[in-house]
Chains A and B, each alone.
Chain A
Amino acid sequence: MDVDPRQYEQVTINEDDIHSVVLSYLVHNCFKETVESLTTCTGMKQPASCCEDMEKRKRIFHFAAEGNALKAIDLTEELAPDLLKENTDLHFNLLTLHFVELVCSKSCTEALEFAQSKLAPFGKEYVKKLEDFMALLAYEEPEKSPMFHLVSPDYRQSVADSLNRAILANANQPSHSTLERLIKQIVVVRQLLSQEHGKDTFLPFSLRDFLKS
């Protein structure tokens, strides 16, 4: 059920605002070519951190999302030298991606050595997390172990996302795209509205349903 259109029909939206929302999304996700065609078509200015940086960030993101963490780390070091030093959580998570790769490819010896040399030195605060990963080694089929979520693509994706955000933040750019922020706000507002109306039959706002309607 949608809000009565009469309540918001009067609101005018600037075309340029819409364009910049779309643009920020594209930039955030490194769709370089799409950015170029959009700016050409709409006559907008190309954002400052275009081309090169975006290209580099894109490569880093893809390496991380594929699980090639070591490459991603190297490139990150080149792009933003102190980034990983300051974000130890992120650094640890990236290294675990590599560890998971080794485990999944059944290279147990290397996985063990990697864990001992690279992960253990992170110290006491990471012990619990490390134990989670070490437990993967005990299973011949890690996907069936209690820690199966650590070998899933979802995990890789979330680490890649946080790396992306960290790089953006480091370059003084917003770490969340405008579109994302707007949608999150909409969801919250709609939910508050439906609560206020207090209708029992009124379902909580579902973005998915809204998009389908």
Chain B
Amino acid sequence: MGGVEDESEPASKRMKLSSRVLRGLANGSSRTEPAAGSSLGLMARPLPIEGDEEVIGSKGVIKRVEFVRLIAKALYSLGYEKSGARLEEESGIPLQSSVVNLFTQQISDGLWDESVVTLHKIGLSDENLVKSASFLILEQKFLELLDQEKAMDALKTLRTEITPLCIKNSRVRELSSCIISPSSCGLLNQNKRNSARARSRSELLEELQKLLPPAVIIPERRLEHLVEQALVLQTDACMLHNSIDMEMSLYTDHQCGKEHIPCRTLQILQSHNDEVWLVQFSHNGKYLASASNDRSAIIWEVDENGSVSLKHKLTGHQKPISSVCWSPDDRQLLTCGVGETVRRWDVSSGECLRVYEKVGHGLISCAWFPDGKWICYGVSDRSICMCDLEGKEIECWKGQRTLSISDLEITSDGKQIISICRETAILLLDREAKYERMIEENQTITSFSLSKDNRYLLVNLLNQEIHLWDIKGDFRLVAKYKGLKRSRFVIRSCFGGLKQAFVASGSEDSQVYIWHKGSGELIEPLPGHSGAVNCVSWNPANHHMLASASDDRTIRIWGLNELNTRHKGARPNGVHYCNGNGTS
């Protein structure tokens, strides 16, 4: 039958249920349960509406009495008093027993002594519960008497009614100090205006409701809570959830389709003359940086329609560029020529502001510190150095900290520096604590990527797997992503999408791969490039935009599949080619 996995008709299961309750067959669905023999058999079965069945629902786990009481409670809290009362009457299931009703009424009216008596009549088996509830009520009585300036009456209540309960001695102590000084009333007084000591009676009632068993008094907003729980679970289970303003409807289970994942090439950028090795969006998503074997880097601008155009071509390096890094404010860009120098560029003018080099050595990677004042680079002698913007060296970590081909990343609190230090290990160096930790893999590591919340590290391995590590606290391997092809080159992957819920990577089979981070499911390989895809970057500001860099010398910009009329200027169904002169 396949009714469950069939995404094209998710409502069929729902309709089967509703058909039973509504006493009518839904659209001539041939998927009715065979148990009854024929579709007419369903009608012949006694319908459970006026029956006394204790359980309802297809799984038989919902108790009728509870269900009806929740609905009645919800009706009352929505303000539909008459409907609530009518439901109680018609179903014969009272929301609360009459004793409890009397109790809540007495609390609201401030008839403390009477309410304590009624409390005992409710029939709670737990003595301590009765005492705790009595304590709360008498405490309220005490504090209200104090507010009315009847100190002696309050004291009498304390001595003769509260203390003999023999619980909460420290609270008794606080209450007795309260007679003299209002400020020592403790927690109750936190959000009170001026000097009132007692809280409101409705707050007391809520507190009592939490204390008493839910079967006696149903907690407020219980039904809403259950529904929200279901919605949250649906969202978590949705593997293609990539848009913020998704409206959740109660009518059907939430399930995004692939229309929210970028999977169509929108633009092809052809300004490089050789293999493009890197792409990276700026933090604000307005720019894209690309770096190539042709020894140049390009800064592209992303306009508000999402189309990308060339802004500056950055030449000057004598070697191919192995790493790029945006400054925290996106105004500057660092590029690193392989085994050569690091250059700092101004984004708006395209000017090279400074060249960093280390005499006798080549630099291999670069990164910004989160405050934008210092930069960090890996050196060919395997050390990592930190210097200020003028090039003055501040600190240097010698020894085997990095490799000749390595990424370098710094956590957003500026405390940890991450690089590949050995073939199979990634180093996390805590700058302040002078403390080092390592992630060990049993395969050679080719590249890695840090998540925005500094919690996860995505590690690309020689054996074509991508591993996800949780680096908060103890290191834990959390997930593996498989499917991509890699044999000769360094392939890079990244996090992306709404809440960075996705992982994207390049591959040597010329496709872009996207997985759902949480479940590890491969969502889609995206064909289009004609050479190995070396690097992918997901726009942090626009979850529907992806960029990929390939050996075929192009960069592709990917977007959503369908014509999205929300975007200004709907684009035609073709693909835009960009030669550096704006759209063609």
Contact = CB atoms under 8 A, between A and B. Distances in A.
Interface of A: 108-109, 112, 115-116, 120, 127, 130-131, 134-140, 146
B148 to A, nearest CB: 16
B249 to A, nearest CB: 56
Interface in B89-104: none
Given A127-B181, A131-B184, A137 B152 contact: no
Contacts of B184: 127, 131
A127 B178 CA distance: 12
Given A139-B163, A140-B159, A146-B169, A134 B177 contact: yes
Contact of B152 (A109, A120, A138): A109
Interface in B120-163: 151-152, 155-156, 158-160, 162-163
B159 A131 contact: no
B43 to A, nearest CB: 70
Identify the 5 closest CB pairs spanning chains A and B, nearest first. Answer: A135-B173, A138-B176, A131-B177, A134-B176, A134-B177
A180 to B, nearest CB: 36
Nearest to A137: B176
B172 interface: yes
Interface of B: 151-152, 155-156, 158-160, 162-164, 169, 172-177, 179-181, 184
A108 B155 contact: yes
Contacts of A131: 173-174, 176-177, 184
B180 A120 contact: yes
Contacts of A138: 158-159, 162-163, 172-173, 175-176
B159 A108 contact: yes
Contacts, number: 54
A135 B179 CA distance: 10
14 contacts: A120-B181, A127-B181, A130-B177, A131-B174, A131-B176, A131-B184, A135-B176, A135-B177, A137-B176, A137-B179, A138-B158, A138-B172, A138-B175, A138-B176
B58 to A, nearest CB: 57
B159 A137 contact: yes
B180 A130 contact: yes
Contacts of B164: 140
Contacts of B159: 108, 137-140
Nearest to B163: A138
Most chain A beta-carbon neighbours within 10 Å: one of B152, B172, B180:
B180
A101 B175 CA distance: 21
A79 B169 CA distance: 42
Contacts of B175: 138
A124 B229 CA distance: 49
B151 to A, nearest CB: 6
Contacts of B163: 138-140
A115 B173 contact: no
A138 B158 CA distance: 6
Given A131-B173, A135-B172, A137-B179, A108 B162 contact: no
Contact of A108 (B152, B169, B172, B177): B152
A115 B179 CA distance: 10
Nearest to B155: A108
Contacts of B177: 130-131, 134-135
A139 B160 CA distance: 8
A134 B172 contact: no
B236 to A, nearest CB: 49
A112 B179 contact: yes
Given A131-B177, A137-B158, A138-B159, 12 more contacts: A108-B152, A108-B159, A112-B152, A120-B180, A130-B177, A134-B180, A135-B176, A138-B173, A139-B159, A139-B163, A140-B160, A146-B169
Contacts of B160: 140
Given A135-B177, A140-B163, A112 B155 contact: yes
Nearest to B183: A127
Nearest to B151: A112
A122 to B, nearest CB: 12
A137 B156 CA distance: 10
A131 B177 CA distance: 5
A66 to B, nearest CB: 26
Nearest to A132: B173
A47 to B, nearest CB: 45
Contacts of A120: 180-181
Nearest to A111: B155
A156 to B, nearest CB: 22
Nearest to B152: A109
Contacts of A140: 159-160, 163-164
Contacts of A108: 152, 155-156, 159
A139 B177 CA distance: 13
A134 B177 CA distance: 6
Contacts of A136: 176
Contacts of B162: 138
Contact of B180 (A109, A115, A139, A146): A115
A211 to B, nearest CB: 41
B152 A116 contact: no
A71 to B, nearest CB: 25
